[in-house]
Amino acid sequence: MNKFFSRGVITPLLFTFIILLFPYSSVTHSQHNSSNTVKINILSKHLILLKQNKTGEMKFNLPAGTVIRYDYSEFFSNSLKIQYSDEMYNIFAGNRHLNFKKCVIYSDSNNALCRIKIDDEERIYPLPLEITHEKGTLKIFIYDSQEQYAADSASAELGYIKPEKTEALQALALAIHGRCRIDSLIKKHPDSHFCDLTCCQTYKGRSGLPPVSGPYINTSASRCGLFFHSSSGGRLFTDSVFNSEKREVKPPADIIYSENLLLSRKLHRSWSASIGADELSSIICSGKNMQMYGVDYNPENEIIYLHTDKGITAVAPEEFRLKINRKKGWNFIKSNNYSVKFNNTEFHFTGSGLGHCTGISLDGALQLAEKGYSRYEILEHYYPDLKYLQSGKAERSYQYVTYNIHNGNIIDASTGPSLLKRKIPCGSLFKLFTVIYLASERTDLFFNYTYKCSEVNPPPLPEHCWDKKGHDQTDIRSAIYNSCNIYFASLYDKINQDDFRKWFNRFVKSRGISMNLPETKSSKEWSELLAGLNFSTAISVGDIIKLSMYIHTPHSAISPETSAVISGALKKTFTEGTAKPAKTNNEAGIEPASISTELWGKTGTMIAGTNSHHSYGLFTGGYNDTGIIVILRKGKGTDAAHLALSLLKKNSGNPAGI
């Protein structure tokens, strides 16, 4: 239709007729009628400031070919200006004063963007803009996909994020993407899904980030509102802080247990506030003719009891906090993590943190990201038992990295550079240290020692191997590819602890590996350490790379003969060992005949986590010149190995070649 307008051949009557043929919604909503689209009320704060004469005019720069349409008018314009004078908003397109109740600014070009300068910052918004002007109130709306809005809103919340912390931004984006699909959260506004103020999610238009990608949170299986806040001050709350009933479930702990590290304490470590009893009564009991003389608050219960001259009243902590802050300032009572004392005339609050303290702590998320945790582990730290969907199918969270096995250069990674700093218990990967020790220091045991792994084994060995049937008579080869706990544990009285520890310290130092061996106070603990069953022995992903590179190309301390034994055993992991596909229920869909003889690796299963314990699958190995490490949450070493195989196939570009 626009090309006919540009030729100037339409009469006024015909123009009106064409407008009537094309209903208002057919043009303006064709670009955003998807259930995947969100409607956002933008620049609401700035329109208020404009009305209060605290800021100048607002001017949008529009791309060439932009159409402005309202009532029965439609014309091209490359600018839109909003002013406030004579107690009303005035909108101009060029020199044309626009008078309307509803206006749409759109372009037929794909992905058309408009620009506006706000406080020396240029903001970019997608077209179309939808503007309503009724009863002296002006509102501006835009539409965008849930995925793009989630990425842009997360960026607005966090601001600039260093590359090593980007997983925190991605975690927040996934949470916001989930919030876009929770009815109770998107129906709070009568005319939009979200506004651009902090009460929803901060939004400043396009951030330059790509849309957030899946796997996405399965909101149908989630019981929480996917809330987020600035800093927990070390204590998290459940959704019950928003109602006047006691909590039903215990909130997660904002801690990394393995490091005894209390998270989210960097911001607002300590704050205090005081308010007179009369003033607090006037705020909380407004219009009720009541006098307060006590506030009973135990954060453990997540409920406040007000003691007044009319009795005791239960109040939601967040309602109590917001009522005060609306009068005293948004951060007067900074968080719900506080204690309160009363001295007959004044209430004194002492606490830490910032925000309602429910859901993701942005401060803690950044700390977790910096330590190498993935976006999904950050989410599950704050929202336990989340489930994910990818293309409609259930998906587990994992991390991986591929690298050049000869020089350690990174080829591909699921997350940013902090992944290399990510620490995880060694699990059965520790057996590789035991193997290297035997190969370099105790070749007598390496070549000659065997042990029968039985259904029941005598102490101080573990009673059962991971395979309760046992592995029968086992030598170093089968012990490696079967990851036999009993074989390695049985070396407890064959290997001198002091000798092993001295060798270990020399070895890790020579390879640039940062690890310390824990103390072992009994033969049982020593046997568990050798077998990789001491989960306090942690290793970083970067150090797993160094260990794997050494295994692939060992130092001269290991003879070619012993190296060949180790290499041959690791290649049997997929064909005879812990990663061998099951004949039945082979979820990985791996055909044993298709597995290359050049594929090698070691599996591990361990218990790990930040604030709750889960099974993790761990795999390190490689194919030809490519090494790979996979960490699979809520999985086993076998699952991690199969995932590694599928990733290697995908990245090789030749699925049949592995």
- Percent of all residues in the chain with a pLDDT value above 90, rounded to a whole number: 69
The answer to whether the CB of 620 falls within 8 A of the CB of 402 is no
Of residues 54 and 267, the one with the higher pLDDT is: 267
CB atoms under 10 Å from CB of 560, counted, come to: 9
Q: Residue 148: helix, strand or coil by DSSP?
A: helix
Which residue reads 């298709």 in tokens? 594
**Percent of the chain clearing pLDDT 70 (strictly above):** 91
Of 482 and 161, which is predicted with more confidence? 482
The number of CA neighbours under 13 Å toward the Cβ of 326 is 10
Structure tokens that stand for 453 in this block: 């792994």
Where would I find the beta strands (DSSP E) of 269-395? 271-276, 292-298, 303-308, 311-315, 338-342, 346-351, 360-361, 388-390, 393-395
Detail the DSSP E strand segments found in 137-186: 137-145
pLDDT at 658: 54
Res. 104 pLDDT band, cuts 50 70 90: very high
Tokens of 449: 């020692």
Pairing assessment for the beta strands 88-93 and 113-118 based on DSSP bridges: unpaired
Confidence at 390, pLDDT banded by 50, 70, 90? confident
Domains of the chain and any CATH numbers: 2-145 (no CATH), 228-358 (no CATH), 396-657 (3.40.710.10)
Give the pairing of strands 614-623 and 472-474.
Answer: unpaired
Structure tokens at 139: 């509102």
Who contacts 595 (Cβ-Cβ below 8 Å, separation ≥6)? Answer: 574, 575, 645, 658
- Report CA 321 to chain centroid distance, whole Å: 28
| Residue-wise pLDDT tens digits, 56-70 | 789 999 999 999 999
Task: Give the bridge partners for 90, in sequence order.
Answer: 83
- Tell me what the mean pLDDT of segment 362-391 comes to: 92
Residue 538 confidence class, pLDDT cut points 50, 70, 90: very high
CA–CA separation, 224 and 241 (whole Å): 12
Amino acid 16: pLDDT: 35
pLDDT at 20 exceeding the cut of 70: no
Q: Which two tokens stand for residue 57?
A: 């005019």
Q: What is the pLDDT of residue 586?
A: 52
The residue-averaged pLDDT of 161-188 equals 91
Q: What is the pLDDT of residue 167?
A: 94
How many residues can be counted in the chain?
658
Mean pLDDT value across the chain:
88
pLDDT tens sequence across 498-531: 999 999 999 999 999 999 999 999 999 999 999 9
pTM for this entry? 0.88
Whether 653 has a pLDDT exceeding 70, the answer reads: no
Peptide bond into 215 cis (omega under 30): yes
Query: How many Å apart are CA 131 and CA 305, to the nearest integer?
Result: 45
* pLDDT at res. 5: 31
pLDDT digits (tens, 9 = 90+) for 148-162: 999 999 999 999 888
- 232-277 pLDDT, tens digit each: 999 999 999 998 887 888 999 999 998 999 999 888 889 999 999 9
In three-state secondary structure terms, 6 is: helix
DSSP strand pairing (194-195 vs 37-42): parallel
Tell me the mean pLDDT in the region 13-30. 36
Tokens of 635: 């999985």
Question: How far apart, in whole angstroms, are the C-alpha atoms of residue 192 and residue 74?
Answer: 25
Q: How are strands ordered across the β-sheet holding 67-70?
A: 73-76, 67-70, 102-106, 129-134, 137-145, 37-42, 194-195
Distance spanning both ends of the chain, measured CA to CA: 55
Does the pLDDT value for residue 215 go beyond 50?
A: yes
Give 241-264 as a 3 state SS string.
Answer: HHCCCCCCCCCCCCEEHHHCEECC
Mean pLDDT of 384-402: 84
Q: Compute the radius of gyration of the chain from its Cα atoms.
A: 32
Strand partners, 81: 59, 92
Reported as a single tens digit per residue, the pLDDT across 574-633 is: 999 999 987 654 555 566 556 777 899 999 999 999 999 999 999 999 998 999 999 999
Q: What pLDDT digit, counting tens, does each position of 295-326 carry?
A: 999 898 999 999 988 889 899 999 999 999 99
451 within 8 A of 436, measured Cβ to Cβ: no
> Angle at CA 361, nearest 5°, toward 359 and 362?
130
In SS3 terms, 374-396 reads as CHHHHHHHHCCCCCEEECCEEEC
CB atoms < 10 A from the CB of 127, how many? 23
CA–CA dist 658, 654 (Å, integer): 8
| H or E stretch covering 89 | strand 88-93
Q: Give rounded-to-5 percent helix, strand, coil for the chain.
A: 35, 25, 40
Residues 6+ apart with CB under 8 A from 171: 360, 365, 369, 375, 376, 378, 379
Kindly give the pairing relationship between strand 228-229 and strand 360-361: parallel
**Above 70 in pLDDT, residue 405?**
yes
